[in-house]
Amino acid sequence: MLTRVHLRRLAQRLMEDPGVREEFERRVAADGQTRRDSDKSPARLEPLQRVKRS
């Protein structure tokens, strides 16, 4: 079983590899852009409206 320490050390070793680090940074940047785009969606910009139920 991998502990947090093992996972942290593995992540540190992976980040030392320039190719892995570059891919990680690219994905983080793409994820950030996706989140910013979804924050601008019309559903988020318009206030919620209450629906009257009879």
Query: Does the residue 19 lie in any domain?
Result: yes
Query: Token digits for 52?
Result: 């009257």
Distances (CA, A) of 53 to 46, 48, 50: 21, 16, 9
Q: Can you give the pLDDT at residue 32?
A: 80
Confidence (pTM): 0.49
Reading the block at residue 41, the tokens are 């969606």
Does 52 fall in a domain? no
The residue range of the domain holding 2 is 1-35
**pLDDT tens, position by position, 4-43:** 999 999 999 999 999 999 998 999 888 887 766 666 655 5
Amino acid making up residue 19: G
Q: Per the domain annotation, does 23 fall within a domain?
A: yes
Q: Is residue 25 part of a domain?
A: yes
d(CA 51, CA 37): 28
pLDDT tier, 1 (very low <50, low <70, confident <90, very high otherwise): confident
- Is 1 among the domain residues? yes
> Quick one: tokens of 49?
């409206």
pLDDT at 47 over 60: no
Report d(CA 15, CA 23) in Å as an integer.
10
Is the model's pLDDT at 48 over the cut of 70?
no
Q: What is the pLDDT of residue 22?
A: 92
